[in-house]
Amino acid sequence: MAAAVTAGDDVQSSYIVHATPDHAPQSKSRLRLLADAYPSILPPRQPPCAHVATTRAKKGVLLVLARRARPSTRRPCLRCWPSFRTAICGCRPGTTGDGHGTHTASTAAGSAVEDASFFNYGKGRAIGVAPSARIAVYKACWTETGCKESDVLSAFDEAIADGVNVISISIGGGEGPWAPEFRNDTIATAAFNAIRKGIIVPAAAGNEGPGDSTLQNVAPWLLTVSASTIDRRFLANVVLSNGETVTGVSLYTGAPLSESQIPLVNGRSCRDGKLDASKVSGKIVLCGPRDYPGHTWKGDVVRRAGGVGAIVGGTVKYGSDILPAHHIIPATSISAYGHKKILSYMASQQGSATAIVVFQGTVYGQETPYSPRVSSFSSRGPNIRAPGILKPDVIAPGESVLAAWTGEASPTGLDGDMRRPQSNIIYGTSMACPHVSGIVAMLREVQPTWSAAAIKSALMTTAYNVDNAGDIIKNATTGKASTPFARGAGHVDPNRALDPGLVYDVWNSEYVAFLCTLGYTAKQIALFTRDGTATDCSTTTSKKDVSDLNYPAFSVVFKSDKDKVTQRGRVTNVGKFVSPT
């Protein structure tokens, strides 16, 4: 969960909303955030609540539509708005799921929690982005059946009927790494109706990065959010007997290893049943990297084989980037490059390799890479369904995010993991999306006359594109400068979005014309409009190309080096000083 900055606080961080640990260095922040920018919305101080929470009712109502969100009646701070007919709030019995929905809901609008942490990792005062917003959670996904189209559509329809202002979507629109065509995209068709009624719909971009054209939720009426890093890490470095150090990260919560060097053996893939207990017992086991994330199970395999610790190679496609894991034994995650370095060291030791893992806890500032960076897992463009519409729209914090957690699920899902934390640290564009949803809820409160497209434009045209070293925001995978296909318009800046000056507004009829430009038939367009009308594309003001939509950002496909493209846009002055001319 992001944490509050009250008036007068100065925290060195690149968070949208800051965690304020006791030991954080004190200096001027890059961003003067919400307490100053939105004084009419943020309450001066909210009573602490250990779980998902909402506070006093304001106009802004925020819907969280996420996987397995099952708030329980044991969370007294989660309150229903009485007029909601079907929202699952904390006022009726329910069981918790895997924590995903609780985490996203509290990120968007959780109340203040003092000394929140995941077993002292990331400890500080935590609060959601828009704590004065009311939350309505509509359950559309289930562990057994996933996210059925009928459930997603029903959730949208009920939310629209209940009068929400923002719909936060932390689920994908298709199967696999590619976005489905709009007419086959349940979220795109459902959100179309919401946008026509003025409801803003931020949506997660997907976690299939860093490959190209892996984005989900790419419809132009969606606010597509990719993930960025923040300036803290949970270091657990490997120190080899030759004095070399390999960077590692971990969220291990138990007793540390001995400070003395421990024999190190190669467990290769560390698959269940493949480790010889006679060779790994009492030793640290090096486990090889994988093509895809998720490797806490390897530590469990090592534990059952008698190993005392593990060094786990990270995800190959993430390059130099490392994501912390909730290891259940003294273990750390290293990059694929770090894994090669340790293998080389072990080869030189001829069977006498030793190592130790040094757990440093939470580190900030100079001990972390420059931030923000585009997270390695975050899906990238170009937009395969409408190449002229540049996606993603923005990036926001989606890595190492601390937020509320269900008390009925462990952080790993492993059978032997008995931990039931009140807060958890996880990553994903699902975590980035509710940061933006909270900002949007407050913008809607401050600027109630702005359309959904105008609010999106304000966020995009005021986003920043440099890190805290003054360089172009980099890719976490390579350490090199990112492109707009990775970061979109840039990193959201809620303060600047208050006064964008000019906005690119889009009329509802222009979205219909966009569908005509794609070549959709009247029957196909009716899947989006759902109002009984028949669209005649021959009479609409359809554009020559999809990039002609009045969008804040565009991309161009050149078929030859002689091609010329003229781009036109229509802007509306919403600045503080509107000239009569």
| CATH classification at residue 76 | 3.40.50.200
Asked whether the bond before 392 is cis by omega within 30 degrees of 0, the reply is yes
The predicted-structure confidence for 134-150, as pLDDT tens digits, reads as follows 888 888 887 777 788 88
Same domain, 385 and 473: yes
Question: Which amino acid is residue 92, in one-letter code?
Answer: R
Helices then strands (H, E): number in the chain?
A: 13, 24
Residue 267 structure tokens = 């467990």
User: Taken in order 509, 514, 519, 524, is the CA torsion positive or negative?
Assistant: negative
CB atoms within 10 A of CB 307: 27
CB atoms within 10 A of CB 524: 17
User: Which of 363, 381, 415 marks a domain boundary?
Assistant: 363
Residue 187 above 50 pLDDT? Answer: yes
Give DSSP secondary structure letters for 295-352.
Answer: -HHHHHHHHHTT-SEEEEE-BGGGTT-------SSSEEEE-HHHHHHHHHHHHHHTT-
CA 142 to chain centre: 20
The CATH number linked to 303 is 3.50.30.30
Same domain, 219 and 239: no
Residue 140 structure tokens = 């559309």
The predicted-structure confidence for 437-458, as pLDDT tens digits, reads as follows 999 999 999 999 999 999 999 9
330 or 101, higher pLDDT: 330
pLDDT at 365: 74
How far is Cα 575 from Cα 219, in angstroms, rounded to an integer? 28
Q: 390: closest CA among 513, 503, 512, 488? A: 488
Give the confidence band of 416 by pLDDT, cuts at 50, 70, 90: confident
Scanning the structure block, which residue is given the tokens 């397995």? 68
User: Which of 340, 363, 386 marks a domain boundary?
Assistant: 363
Give the confidence band of 291 by pLDDT, cuts at 50, 70, 90: low
Same domain, 41 and 173: yes
Q: What is the model's pTM? A: 0.86
Scanning the structure block, which residue is given the tokens 């045209």? 461
Residues 6+ apart with CB under 8 A from 467: 14, 370, 371, 372, 373, 473, 474
Angle at 109 between CA 135 and CA 100, to 5 degrees: 80
Question: Quick one: average pLDDT of 288-304?
Answer: 86
218 or 101, higher pLDDT: 218
Same domain, 97 and 245: no
Residue 509 lies inside a defined structural domain of this protein: no
Q: At what angle do helices 508-517 and 186-196 cross, to 10 degrees?
A: 150
Same domain, 264 and 203: no
How far is Cα 369 from Cα 329, in angstroms, rounded to an integer? 27
Task: Quote the DSSP letter at residue 211.
Answer: S
Determine phi and psi for 160, rounding to 5 degrees: -60, -45
Residue 51 above 50 pLDDT? Answer: no
Q: 359: closest CA among 337, 330, 391? A: 330
pLDDT at 538: 87
Angle at 347 between CA 342 and CA 353, to 5 degrees: 70
Scanning the structure block, which residue is given the tokens 């005509």? 516
404 or 49, higher pLDDT: 404
Residue 79 above 80 pLDDT? Answer: no
Same domain, 193 and 273: no
pLDDT at 577: 59
pLDDT at 461: 96
CA distances to 105, 122, 127, 413, 562 from 50, in Å? 13, 16, 11, 22, 61
Same domain, 350 and 450: no
Question: Quick one: average pLDDT of 250-255?
Answer: 95
Residue 28 lies inside a defined structural domain of this protein: no
Residue 27 lies inside a defined structural domain of this protein: no
Q: 442: closest CA among 35, 66, 32? A: 35
Residue 240 lies inside a defined structural domain of this protein: yes
Same domain, 327 and 402: no
Question: Quick one: average pLDDT of 289-308?
Answer: 88
Q: 29: closest CA among 53, 6, 60? A: 6
In terms of DSSP H, where are the helices of 350-465? 429-446, 452-461
Domains held by the chain: number: 2
Residues of the chain above pLDDT 90, percent: 61
User: Which of 324, 342, 363 marks a domain boundary?
Assistant: 363
How far is Cα 457 from Cα 464, in angstroms, rounded to an integer? 14
Residue 28 above 80 pLDDT? Answer: no
Residue 294 above 90 pLDDT? Answer: no
Question: Quick one: average pLDDT of 202-226?
Answer: 96
Lowest mean pLDDT among 77-86, 402-411, 424-433: 77-86
Residue 90 above 50 pLDDT? Answer: no
Residues of the chain above pLDDT 70, percent: 80
Same domain, 218 and 330: no
Residue 573, classified by CB atoms within 10 Å of its CB into exposed (0-12), middle (13-18) or buried (19+), is: exposed
pLDDT at 242: 95
Same domain, 481 and 411: yes
Residue 517 lies inside a defined structural domain of this protein: no
3-state secondary structure of 284: strand
pLDDT at 99: 85
Residue 81 lies inside a defined structural domain of this protein: yes
How far is Cα 401 from Cα 99, in angstroms, rounded to an integer? 13
Same domain, 272 and 417: no
Q: By residue range, what is the domain housing residue 278?
A: 232-363
Residue 88 above 50 pLDDT? Answer: no
Residue 96 lies inside a defined structural domain of this protein: yes
Same domain, 390 and 481: yes
pLDDT at 488: 97
Query: What region, left, alpha or beta, does residue 381 occupy, with left being phi > 0 and alpha being psi -120 to 50 degrees?
Result: beta
Q: At what angle do helices 186-196 and 149-162 cross, to 10 degrees?
A: 10
Residue 443 lies inside a defined structural domain of this protein: yes
Residue 580 above 50 pLDDT? Answer: no
Residue 96 above 60 pLDDT? Answer: no
